[in-house]
Amino acid sequence: MQTNLRNLDMISTQSWTKEQIETVLDVAFDLKRKRALGQPHAYLRDKTLAMLFFFTSTRTRSSFEAGMAQLGGHAAFIDHHTTQISHGDTAREIGEILGRYYDGIAIRQCDWKVGNRYIRDVAAASRVPVLNMQCDIYHPFQALADLMTIIEKKGNPRGKTIAVSWAYAASYQKPISVPQSLILLLTRFGMNVRLVHPPEYRLMPDIVQQAQDNARRQGGSLEILDDMDAGFRGADVVYPKSWGCLLTTEDLEESARIGKQYEDWIADERRMVLAAPDAGYMHCLPADRNIEVADAVIDGPQSVVYDEAENRLHVQKAVMSLVM
């Protein structure tokens, strides 16, 4: 266990050591137990968190806000439209100024080629830790919650196979941050990761390379497939979700045309039968129901999506308690 995490930013799990991440998981399980038992755990009394959103959210906003209250502190919701950010406050000004008011700054900025740069610029100017609530490249708290959920449901993740698969969605070009954070984190814990997608939906080459390096160092594997059935076959966990073909085109009409070719990439009951009999179905949510995933799967006995969403609360409280 590491005890010197105070003031660390959480922008990507990749910049944290494996031992630091194990500490987060250890604290998250303890906080989950404490909440179940009704034991007070006000580790952040009188502390405040700024939550700056450039993009919509249900789970992230609610779990950070509830988490800060449960830790004895306060979280302020700040929408970029209703602040002077819309009239020119720069990332440096936000880091300098909010860093003097608050004890932590959490940011969701998912704009492609903008979000991660913005969060890093705020962090460079901030005297307090900066937490990435999702950017264009990473969604670290989702991946931490997912790892916690895999450990709860499957025990030691080492040697287990997960299919991180693209699935079709009609709603919008979803960020690539979830699959990228998943392949980066799960390869560090010895999992056999299958990254499954049509060719147009590739992830950033340097992220894939880092995941391959993680797998080699930790004794797991990263395999890239272009067949959803093959990805599901025998997997212990399936994580089919949509993301945009951002590395192929940024044109929305062309993206929609490309996606239409793969409408049959849905997590349905036929595909679930291909996975291991006790395979877990995961999704970060929101999902396009009966397009990305069949109701029978997401509402079925193999789905762990509600425990997965709950674990966002516990891992975020763990990181906030350790760094703020």
| Nearest distance from C-beta of residue 164 to ligand CP, angstroms | 15
Q: Which is nearer to ligand CP, 144 or 276 (CB)?
A: 144
Beta bridge pairs of residue 225: 196
| Nearest distance from C-beta of residue 37 to ligand CP, angstroms | 27
| Nearest distance from C-beta of residue 87 to ligand CP, angstroms | 26
Q: Which is nearer to ligand CP, 13 or 134 (CB)?
A: 134
Q: In sequence order, which residues have a C-beta less than 8 Å from that of residue 264 and are 6 or more positions away?
A: 168
Q: Which is nearer to ligand CP, 14 or 57 (CB)?
A: 57
| Nearest distance from C-beta of residue 25 to ligand CP, angstroms | 19
Cis peptide bond upstream of 286, omega within 30:
yes
> Crossing angle of helices 59-70/305-323, nearest 10°?
50
Q: Which is nearer to ligand CP, 142 or 187 (CB)?
A: 142
Asked whether 71 and 23 are in contact (CB, 8 A), the reply is: no
| Nearest distance from C-beta of residue 59 to ligand CP, angstroms | 4
Cα–Cα nearest to 182, from 157, 158, 211, 154: 211
Determine the size of the site formed for ligand CP (CB under 6 A). Answer: 8
Q: How far is CA 314 from CA 17, 28, 67, 153, 198, in A?
A: 20, 5, 8, 16, 34
- Per-residue binding string, ligand CP, 85-124, x by CB under 6 A, is ----------------------------------------
| Residues of this chain, 248-307, that bind ligand CP according to CB under 6 A | 284-285
| Nearest distance from C-beta of residue 108 to ligand CP, angstroms | 7
Q: Which is nearer to ligand CP, 79 or 263 (CB)?
A: 79
Q: Which is nearer to ligand CP, 125 or 164 (CB)?
A: 164
Contact call for residue 230 and ligand CP (CB under 6 A) = no
Q: Which is nearer to ligand CP, 20 or 142 (CB)?
A: 142
Q: Which residue has the tokens 């999992």?
A: 191
Asked whether 121 and 91 are in contact (CB, 8 A), the reply is: yes
In what side-by-side order are the strands of the sheet with 74-79? 74-79, 48-53, 104-109, 130-135
| Residues of this chain, 129-158, that bind ligand CP according to CB under 6 A | 134, 142
Q: Which is nearer to ligand CP, 70 or 177 (CB)?
A: 177
Cα–Cα nearest to 53, from 9, 128, 115: 115
Residue whose C-beta lies closest to ligand CP: 60
Alpha-helix runs per DSSP H in the chain: 18-37, 59-70, 91-101, 115-125, 140-154, 177-186, 205-218, 228-232, 252-260, 269-274, 295-298, 305-323
Cα–Cα nearest to 145, from 135, 133, 136: 133
| Residues of this chain, 28-67, that bind ligand CP according to CB under 6 A | 57-60
Binding-site ranges for ligand CP (CB under 6 A): 57-60, 134, 142, 284-285
